[in-house]
Amino acid sequence: MAKRRPSKKPKAEKKNAEPQGVVVNVSGLGLPTLARPFLVEFFPTPDQFGAEQQIREKELARKRREAAKALKKVEKKWWEEEGVVGVNVAYRTKLGHIVSPLQIVIVVDVVLKQPIAALEAKKRFVFPQQVGDIPVKVREIRYIKSDGILSSSAATGNRIQDPATTIIGGIQIAPVDAPNSWGTLGICVPHEESPGNISLVGISNKHVVRATNKKVQNPAGSQSADKTFGRVRKSTLTELADAASIKNIGAGNNRQFEKGIADFNPPGVHLLFLEDTILKTLAFDRVIKFGAATTKRDGQITNRRKAIRVPDLLRTRRFVNVIEVKGLEGHEVTDGGDSGGVILGQPKDENVWVVIGLIFAMSTDRKSAYAFPFGRVISKLNLNIPSNALWSGT
């Protein structure tokens, strides 16, 4: 019987066996090469990535211009609505950054008067859902607490600022041992140390009253032989505020300041202090700089930034959320000595002046004054302003 040949078992494939190659010519040189399967991945070069990003940014800029053009036609109508005190408009991409496809959204914040029956009935302002083909999103609606601006004093109780009196501020002050290095006591604010115990506290810059001797004086001294004005209560120097408060202002130093603002403080107009959280949304019919150095004072709030001339004490600090007030028609609005002064604004259709910010620096061409939001100054100095002297949003 013939022997059966054992069947050959197929050889197990080697793990990770190399694929069979073929001999190919490389650049016609006839060099043997093992051709293997491979995956091609594309990584853009920095130049290619930059070019693609630039295209997207140009498209975004084009859409922003279209949105601004379309918005111009309707934004004026929003301002003319009864009870509107401020509207702030911003442009956002759909996801807050450049995406594809690009989508611009008009984001609106609005501040309204309160109480007004018609607005309370609406509960919200009716904005169009889109302007042209640009979507509109109403992000925030706030109302102004009107306690401080009602015409009837009986409705507000004990009013802090009597409209018939001169607003206290705008006087030269200096440390007693450095009378030639003077700045401005910008404004006096009511400070409620305890319930019912209210005193006036002067506000200026820390760099104005920086001397170790904590007493300050009025170097002009035109209204009193005694130039001593008060004593520094508290001072602070941070990226949010360069501020100092001065106490002992009152009966013994009851000066109606020679460079005050009584000339445009007619009866019925009140002075209030602004909560800075609504500053970006408000519009002002008039903005002025209230300082001791210059008579030119009318300006406008702008987001432009120029070279800021700051005192040596502040040069190492980086400032954030600074208000710029630019002189009207390119005129000078400030000068040395205005440090410690304040910026005042008269909101749209309101019979009130509000303190917006505390001046601490100016532009090199003197056409802009720079100030910290006043609400932050008050907070840093731990001052407690009674509610009927505040103009705040709810």
Of 105, 123, 143, the residue that ends a domain is 143
Q: What is the CATH number of the domain that holds 51?
A: 3.30.300
Among the ranges 2-16, 183-197, 314-328, which has the highest mean pLDDT value? 183-197
Residue 330 main-chain phi, psi, to 5 deg: 75, 10
Report d(CA 7, CA 248) in Å as an integer. 114
- Within a domain: 59: yes
- Its domain, for residue 75, covers 47-143
Pairing relation of β-strands 104-112 and 84-93? antiparallel
254 contacts 200 by C-beta, under 8 angstroms: no
Confidence of residue 205 (pLDDT cuts 50, 70, 90): very high
pLDDT at 233 over 80: yes
Which tens digits make up the pLDDT trace of 337-376? 889 999 888 877 677 778 889 999 888 888 888 898 888 8
Residue 388 burial by Cβ neighbours in a 10 Å radius (0-12, 13-18, 19+): buried
Shared domain for 171 and 79, answered yes or no, is: no
Bridge-partner residues for 302, per DSSP? 324
Q: Could you tell me what percent of the chain has a pLDDT over 90?
A: 4
Pairing relation of β-strands 242-249 and 352-363? unpaired
Q: What is the mean pLDDT of residues 158-169?
A: 50
Confidence of residue 252 (pLDDT cuts 50, 70, 90): very low
pLDDT at 186 over 80: yes
Which DSSP state fits 160? S
Shared domain for 135 and 166, answered yes or no, is: no
Which tens digits make up the pLDDT trace of 272-325? 777 666 676 777 778 888 887 766 677 777 654 445 666 666 666 677 778 888
Shared domain for 254 and 116, answered yes or no, is: no
Nearest CA to 35 among 45, 44, 26?
A: 26
Which tens digits make up the pLDDT trace of 47-78? 766 777 777 778 777 777 777 777 776 777 77
pLDDT at 207 over 80: yes
Shared domain for 171 and 205, answered yes or no, is: yes
- Within a domain: 6: no
Of 143, 172, 204, the residue that ends a domain is 143
Shared domain for 86 and 177, answered yes or no, is: no
Residue 310 main-chain phi, psi, to 5 deg: -120, 155
Q: What is the mean pLDDT of residues 102-118?
A: 66
- pLDDT given at position 303: 52
Q: What is the CATH number of the domain that holds 337?
A: 2.40.10
pLDDT at 100 over 80: no
Q: How far is Cα of residue 343 from the mean position of the Cα atoms in its chain?
A: 14
Residue 328 main-chain phi, psi, to 5 deg: -65, 140
Would the pTM of this model clear 0.85, i.e. be above it?
Answer: no
Q: What is the mean pLDDT of residues 20-33?
A: 48
Report d(CA 291, CA 272) in Å as an integer. 18
- What 3-state DSSP class applies to 369? strand
Looking at the structure of the chain, the number of domains it has is: 2
Shared domain for 346 and 381, answered yes or no, is: yes
Confidence of residue 154 (pLDDT cuts 50, 70, 90): very low
Residue 135 main-chain phi, psi, to 5 deg: -65, 150
Shared domain for 358 and 311, answered yes or no, is: yes
Higher pLDDT, 99 or 328: 328
Among the ranges 108-122, 146-160, 181-195, which has the highest mean pLDDT value? 181-195
- Within a domain: 238: yes
Mean residue pLDDT across the chain: 69
Report d(CA 96, CA 132) in Å as an integer. 21
Our CA angle for 163, 270, 338, nearest 5°, is 105
Of 122, 143, 164, the residue that ends a domain is 143
Shared domain for 254 and 357, answered yes or no, is: yes
